[in-house]
Amino acid sequence: MNPLAGGAIPSHEKEFAFLAGPRETATQAALRFVIGCPEISVALVGFTTRAQVDEACALADCAAVVTAAVRERLRSHLGGNLNEICTGCGYCDDCPVDIPIPAYMQFYNDKVMFGKSDDDMRKALGFHHDWGLLVGRKASAEACVTCGKCESACTQHLRISKWLETVAAWESGK
């Protein structure tokens, strides 16, 4: 499940370029890896276009078994933070004070996985307040009452309220 990290890999091709071999994208490499792992019998891939289905099927037809050497090469690039990414599943989206949690969590991976600076995070939030994911929000991050409902629902066991605290500080210009 989630072989493309909930879309994080396709939307960060450059950052995940280390996954890829010659003449392939990071997305193709991630699919090839999952399909080529002998321990995995089914790859549950989310599709939005026919071309994506064709691409995954073509990879499934020719994916070689992933060797220990390949695993080691990939492991050396990965930090523990990859165990803590938001997959965008949306199961947390039932906040009693109407905070748009999945929208705020869209920024989480940028910080946790790619270490973006606080300044970059403030700019991204500012842009999305005016033009993007956070337009029309009914409540902002600072409204969190730490009830824990979202964290109980989170498939990745993420500390969402702690993240919102950080976001609230950025939103207030700190």
Interaction site with ligand SF4 (CB under 6 A): 86-92, 95-97, 99, 101-102, 105, 144-150, 153-156, 158, 160-161, 164
Q: What is the closest distance, in whole angstroms, from the C-beta atom of residue 139 to ligand SF4 in the complex?
A: 8
C-beta closer to ligand SF4: residue 28 or 108: 108
Q: How many CB atoms lie within 10 A of CB 126?
A: 15
Q: Which DSSP category does 174 fall into? A: -
In angstroms, the CA 15 to CA 13 distance is 6
C-beta closer to ligand SF4: residue 26 or 99: 99
Q: The tokens 């499940």 sit on which residue?
A: 1
Q: Which DSSP category does 79 fall into? A: -
Helix 50-62 vs helix 26-36: angle between axes, to the nearest 10 degrees? 50
Q: What is the closest distance, in whole angstroms, from the C-beta atom of residue 55 to ligand SF4 in the complex?
A: 25
C-beta closer to ligand SF4: residue 36 or 102: 102
What one-character-per-residue DSSP string does 87-145 give? ----TT---TT---HHHHHTTHHHHHHH---HHHHHHHHHHHHHTSTTTT-SS-GGG--
C-beta closer to ligand SF4: residue 74 or 112: 112
Q: What is the closest distance, in whole angstroms, from the C-beta atom of residue 157 to ligand SF4 in the complex?
A: 8
Q: What is the closest distance, in whole angstroms, from the C-beta atom of residue 85 to ligand SF4 in the complex?
A: 8
Q: What is the closest distance, in whole angstroms, from the C-beta atom of residue 161 to ligand SF4 in the complex?
A: 4
C-beta closer to ligand SF4: residue 63 or 134: 134
